[in-house]
Each structure stands twice: as C-alpha cells, then as structure tokens.
Structure 1
Amino acid sequence: MAGISPAVFGFPDVTLERNTAVHEVQENVTSVDTLTLASSNTDFAFSLYRELVLKNPHKNVVFSPFSISTALALLSLGAKSNTLKEILEGLKFNLTETPEPDIHQGFRYLLDLLSQPGDQVQINTGSALFIEKHLQILAEFKEKARALYQAEAFTADFQQPREAKKLINDYVSKHTQGKIKELISHLNKDTWIVLVNYIYFKGKWKMPFDPNRTFKSEFYLDEKRSVNVSMMKIDNLRTPYFRDEELTCSVVELKYTGNASALFILPDQGRMQQVEASLQPETLRKWKKSLKPRMIDELCLPKFSISTDYSLEHILPELGIREVFSKQADLSGITEAKDLRTSQVVHKAVLDVGETGTEAAAGTGYQNLQCCQGVIYSMKIYFDRPFLMIISDTNTHIALFMAKVTNPESDENFLNKEYAFPQLLEIMPEHRSVCTCCLPCLNRQ
C-alpha cells in the first residue's frame, strides 16, 4: 500500500491471528456442522447462478458463492429485524432450524479451517471494513467482525474518494496476488463504510497436463458457431466419473494436490438449460456419491482465462435480499448513525486454467474398437462445448467457486491457474444533511 498517508487513512485497528487452533473454535460449533453450511452454501450458489445466467445470457459466468455469502453474513452481524431475516434467509438458512448465533459460529469454524497453512493448495480468504474516519462503529460489531469473520478494520476519508479508492484497491490487489487490481472504479462521497471480502485460490493438478501436447482445436459455442482454442490433452487418466442419464450430462472430477477438487459437468448438446434448471444441493450430492474411478483414454480441456464483474445490488433482491438496499434498512447494529443502507455490492472474479493447475469440465464420447475377444470401450472426453465447473474444498465440502464456460477465448489467456474473488459492499446514509450537501459547493469557492 505504498504512497498511502497514515495520517489520512490510518492503520488497521484490529486483526485476528490466523493461526488460531481449530479445536478452540470447534468447541463452539453446536447445531451447525459443515455439511449444513455446505448445503446452504450450495443452495445459495445455485440460486445466484441462475440469476446471473438469466441476466448474462450466452456469457461466461464465474463467481465465488463462499466469498459473497461470507460478506453478507458479516453484514448481517449489524442488521436487525426484517433486514437481518432477509439476509440470512436469502443465504438459504432456515432460521427455525438454525439460530443466528450458530450460523456465525459455523462461518468462524469454516474460515479457520480454510486459513490453516498448507504447502499444496493455497487458499487465502479474509474481510476488511473501511470506515469513514468520523464515524463511530459500535464496539460490539467491530469485535464480533474480528472474532467471527477475521475482519480487519481501517479508517478512510471518503471525502477524498480518489485516495480512499486507492487504499481499498491496493488492499484487494495485495491479498489476491495482483489478480484483482481495481475492485472499485467509483466511490461516492456519501459512503460511510466499505466492506470487502476476498478469496484467492491457487492449485496444481494432481495429474498435470503436458504443455508440449497442447494443440489448437474447435470449441463449439452453439450449433452454428465455433472458436479456435488452445486445447490441453492427457492420456490414460484414471479419475472419478459419472454419466447422469436422467439429466443427460457427464460429470468428471479432477483433483488438485491437497484438499481441493474440481467437478466438471458437460451437458449433452442442447441440454444446458435442462441441467441448469435441475441444479439443487441434492443434485450435487447425487453426482458426488455416484462418482466412480474410471480410466479415461483421452481427456481434452481448453486452456482459458475468464473474468467477470457483477453489481449484485441488482441481483440479490431476486433472492429475497431487498430491504438492506432500501430506506427501510435496519443496520443499527453497526453504528448509532441513522439512515444507513447498502448502496452497492460489487463482485469481481478472475479464473485462469492452464496445464499445471485449475479447472476442467467433462464431455464424453464413446468409440467402439473391435478386437478378437469382442468389443473394447474406449472413453474419450472432450471439453469442446459449454460446460459447468464447481471447485470445492474437500475438508469442508464448501463450494468455493462456480463457473459456466461458454467461450474460452473471451478473455486473454494466462499461463497459470489462479482464482481471485473479492466481494465489496458499500454502505452510506440514506439522507444527507443540508450542510453536507453544501460542502462540494463550499469547497469550490
């Protein structure tokens, strides 16, 4: 964060040590276990995915449901009444079965598990609050944000939007290894709080592709259009596979070294919408339960990089999260200041896939080879048309990332596989005082 003046923006107020022993947290996890949280996370992921696809037809979709749900759960710490209820129910929690305190303890447990250092899969996740320097945040909210969500707190001067924007963007760039360089393109002087959640993932394939075997091949966007892509190739790969005849799609799991794996779903030609309409937590459980090790004679996967940028304040209301964006928002658990609401929710994602690591999807074709003893079935899988991808942490069963690849050539390809998904919420007062409204005029005199 070079060039930032501590006199203007200050230093972090609080941080949570990342090496907290997991067993200390585990004692507090009672009603909510990781499977319950994973199911809610998956339900939210699929619901949000359908809305993103609806509003972005024929485009690549990539996002981190875990990053978005973590940011919203953190925001809910300061919400009350119906605002609180809408956020948690929008995240697909049943508040009758799962009390609010258990939800937050569950997130704490998951975040501590994911933050444990590892030498194979790299997962960095965290949250930060950027607070207007004159705003008094309630001590209880700040402490809970630190203890439950590992949230750092910074002061910022939003009356200097250019400097405040640089502070936030530099923070995000640093924690996503430079993958997201400009999360925020615009800040309003009305802003009081900016909440950021980031997640960065980098993994290496357990069975990497040989770069010398990458070749140019057709990727079919639809029945009439195609693009030329760099196609990676590996032979004689034994990996979990399932053919779902009911949904007419093929499912392949590719594992990373460490505690992560990527699930690739390739619908048959013309069946993508049918598969998308059937996405439910039960569907994912069925796929994972049905996966069996299978020898794949030839697997071809496009090398690609895709990026997306979403303004979720226009999408989350479709999932029932409405009041937090309105004049009726009750965020009185954050500060005693009145008329606080959330003005924007920005989510940017970058997904790179290369020979050494990252995602893939499964398209299956069968070729019958005759021999003297009968018929030998040779399985060849080609990712040569739109497919879905879900990356999960195998310890917690949490869906970290989800993507729909409709065109691998829509963005400039990168050499290595990395993921970075920051999530931003901007909170501002609903009404400005007369004096505040006059400040820009007075400054120009």
Structure 2
Amino acid sequence: KDNNQWAQQTAPCNWSLDRMEEARVLYQAEISTADFQQPHEAKKLINDYVSKQTQGKISELISALDNQTLMVLVNYIYFKGKWKTPFEPHFTRESDFYLDKKRTVKVPMMHHMFLTTPYFRDEDLSCSVVELKYTGNASALFILPDEGRMQQVEASLQPETLKKWKDSLRKIDDLYMPKFSISSDYSLENILPQLGIKEVFSKQADLSRITGAKDLSVVHKAVLDVAETGTEAAAATGCCPVGSALILQPLKIYFNRPFLVMISDTNTQTPLFMAKVTNPKEN
C-alpha cells in the first residue's frame, strides 16, 4: 500500500519544499512530477506507475487528463494471498451459476471436500457465511444471501454484524465456490459525500493554497481475482485537482448465485477489500 503525488513540472502549484517534505513524512507519499501540458504522456506515465505497483492488475486508473490539471494524488493497495488450504484444480468443474430466477451462466466451480472451514448460518439475515483463511494474517468472508435477500444483507454490513458472524463460525466439510475475476471503477464525487466527506466537494471548498485551483475530482478502481491457489486484489484511487444458497446438507454449501466477499486483516479486523459478485463471468 502506498501514496504518490504527481505535480505539474512547471505548475503554479503552491507546494513548497517544506510542504512536500511534510507530505512525504506524514503520508508516506512519494513526490513525482509530470508535464500535464502533455496530458496523454502524463496519463501514460501515471498509469504505467500504478500498473507496475499493482503487478499489472490495474492498468488504467486515469482515463483522461487535460492540460488544466495541476496535480494528481494516487493511493493504491495490492494484495496477493495464498489459501491456507488450496482448492484442488482437478476438482474444478463447469457448473451453473444462477444470475436470477430465469438466467444461468456456466462457471468453473471449485470444490473443496473435507475442508473443515468456519461456517455460520444467519437465520435473522437469511444468509450463509464461510471464512477461508490465507497464509499469513488475512482471511476472506464469503457471504451468500438467500434468494431476494441481497439488499437486506448489504444494508446490515455493520461492524456488529461482522463480529456476530466471526463469533458464531463453526466447521463445514464441503464447499463449492466459483472462480472469478471482477473489476470496477467509480467516480467518487457523489459517493464520498454520502460517507460524510462533503466539504471538500462543496462550492465553499478552496484548494488553491495547495494547487492554485479550487476544483477536485476523485476516481477509484479495484480488481479482485479468486482461484484455486488464492486471491489477487488491487485498488487505486486518483484525486485530481483541476482547473440460491443451496444448502443440500447441513455441512455443504454452494456459492452458485450472487454473493459478497470481504477480505480482512485478521490482526486488526480491518476490511481491506469488499466486493459483490453478481456474475463471475463478467468483469
């Protein structure tokens, strides 16, 4: 995980050497320069940097820049985890994944017999929860809502719910999980205010002491791959001041319809990545 600041080579950016050093010390941020008067070349420079740092998982964080750009702030995180108990590839079979009541797609369905992994059935929220551990200090919670209960479960993803699930996990012996690779990208100007980060996007915000400009745009992109050996995940954010759970037996569970996944640090219980998988065949 790291931060990087890209400033215009000859910009009227109000970043003194002292302030740049403060950013390096306080935020562990590298300081780089780019010529935003050549937006295509600057975009390639930043995207190549992010691609290298995320092992090629995020190849195009910034889709467009213009020559009014004065600074780009980049934050990225890259995670590669190996399952503590990997899935055996020769057990993987093509299987149906139910997109809804009428549509299915064929997916490579991984199968783990005699896995003995933690599992919990939450009758209150109508979902099933499985925990898979990585080597090291990370684990993944896979959350499978009953049909028609996805929104209810999503709305209940609070710390107390996660704690209840963690405290209630018991063992299962048979697990079916699709391989998948998903990605998403968002413009965060409308999302962050819903999380309480409002003032920086308001008309009253003034970033001119930093960049000489007042406006701000924020983009975010994330990628998540899950396969037999483990998981690769990466996320990056760019900030630009501009001018059916079929439980066939009590100890068997099929992830064969839309589900949620959350990867966390087991030492701090901090969520690192969270995703909703509605179609494992689509990014």
TM-score between both structures, scaled by the size of structure 2: 0.89
SS of corresponding position for 1:194: strand
Equivalent residue pairs, number = 270
Deviation for aligned residue 1:143: 2.9
Matched, 1:390 2:262: yes
SS of corresponding position for 2:253: strand
Partner residue of 1:351 out of 221, 224, 231 = 224
Matched, 1:249 2:131: no
Deviation for aligned residue 1:196: 0.4
SS of corresponding position for 1:314: coil
Matched, 1:295 2:172: yes
Distance in 1 of aligned mates of 2:128 and 2:246: 6
Q: What does residue 408 of structure 1 align with?
A: 280
Deviation for aligned residue 1:286: 1.4
The 5 Å alignment of 1:183-198 reads 183-198=61-76
Distance in 1 of aligned mates of 2:231 and 2:33: 36
Distance in 2 of aligned mates of 1:246 and 1:143: 52
Q: Is residue 172–residue 183 contact of structure 1 (8 Å, CA) maintained in 2?
A: yes
Whichever structure has more helix as a proportion of its residues is 1
Partner residue of 1:340 out of 214, 235, 240 = 214
SS of corresponding position for 2:251: strand
SS of corresponding position for 1:159: coil
SS of corresponding position for 1:180: coil
Deviation for aligned residue 1:211: 0.8
Q: Is residue 363–residue 383 contact of structure 1 (8 Å, CA) maintained in 2?
A: yes
Partner residue of 1:279 out of 157, 161, 171 = 157
Compute the RMSD of aligned alpha carbons: 1.9
Partner residue of 2:100 out of 204, 222, 225 = 222
- Residue by residue over 1:14-64, the C-alpha shift from the partner in whole angstroms, topping out at 9 and shown as x without a partner, is xxxxxxxxxxxxxxxxxxxxxxxxxxxxxxxxxxxxxxxxxxxxxxxxxxx
Q: Is residue 99–residue 279 contact of structure 2 (8 Å, CA) maintained in 1?
A: yes
Q: Is residue 221–residue 227 contact of structure 1 (8 Å, CA) maintained in 2?
A: yes
The 5 Å alignment of 1:41-120 reads none
Q: What does residue 200 of structure 2 align with?
A: 324
Q: What does residue 133 of structure 1 align with?
A: 9
Deviation for aligned residue 1:322: 3.2
Partner residue of 1:381 out of 229, 237, 253 = 253
Q: 1:238 to 1:333 in 2, by over 3 A?
A: farther
Distance in 2 of aligned mates of 1:159 and 1:188: 8
Partner residue of 2:180 out of 295, 299, 304 = 304
Partner residue of 2:58 out of 170, 180, 186 = 180
Whichever structure has more strand as a proportion of its residues is 2
Deviation for aligned residue 1:364: 5.7
- Residue by residue over 1:138-197, the C-alpha shift from the partner in whole angstroms, topping out at 9 and shown as x without a partner, is 445423322232110111211111111111011101100011111112101111110000
Q: What does residue 43 of structure 1 align with?
A: none
Q: Is residue 141–residue 333 contact of structure 1 (8 Å, CA) maintained in 2?
A: no
- Residue by residue over 1:220-250, the C-alpha shift from the partner in whole angstroms, topping out at 9 and shown as x without a partner, is 0111111111101010111111111111111
Q: What amino acid maps onto 2:251 in structure 1? A: M
Q: What does residue 236 of structure 2 align with?
A: none
Q: What does residue 58 of structure 1 align with?
A: none
Distance in 2 of aligned mates of 1:145 and 1:397: 27
Aligned identity (percent) is 68
Distance in 2 of aligned mates of 1:144 and 1:227: 52
Q: What amino acid maps onto 1:295 in structure 2? A: I
Deviation for aligned residue 1:352: 0.9
Q: What does residue 431 of structure 1 align with?
A: none
Distance in 2 of aligned mates of 1:288 and 1:334: 43
Partner residue of 1:154 out of 11, 32, 46 = 32
- Residue by residue over 1:62-88, the C-alpha shift from the partner in whole angstroms, topping out at 9 and shown as x without a partner, is xxxxxxxxxxxxxxxxxxxxxxxxxxx
Q: 1:286 to 1:144 in 2, by over 3 A?
A: farther
Deviation for aligned residue 1:330: 3.0
- Residue by residue over 1:333-375, the C-alpha shift from the partner in whole angstroms, topping out at 9 and shown as x without a partner, is 635x3x4331x2111111111110129xx946143xxxxxxxx
Distance in 2 of aligned mates of 1:240 and 1:131: 48
- Residue by residue over 1:94-115, the C-alpha shift from the partner in whole angstroms, topping out at 9 and shown as x without a partner, is xxxxxxxxxxxxxxxxxxxxxx
* Consecutive unaligned residues in structure 2, runs of 5 or more: 233-243
Q: Is residue 185–residue 222 contact of structure 2 (8 Å, CA) maintained in 1?
A: yes
Q: What amino acid maps onto 1:163 in structure 2? A: E
Distance in 1 of aligned mates of 2:208 and 2:267: 36
Deviation for aligned residue 1:393: 1.0
Q: Is residue 208–residue 355 contact of structure 1 (8 Å, CA) maintained in 2?
A: yes
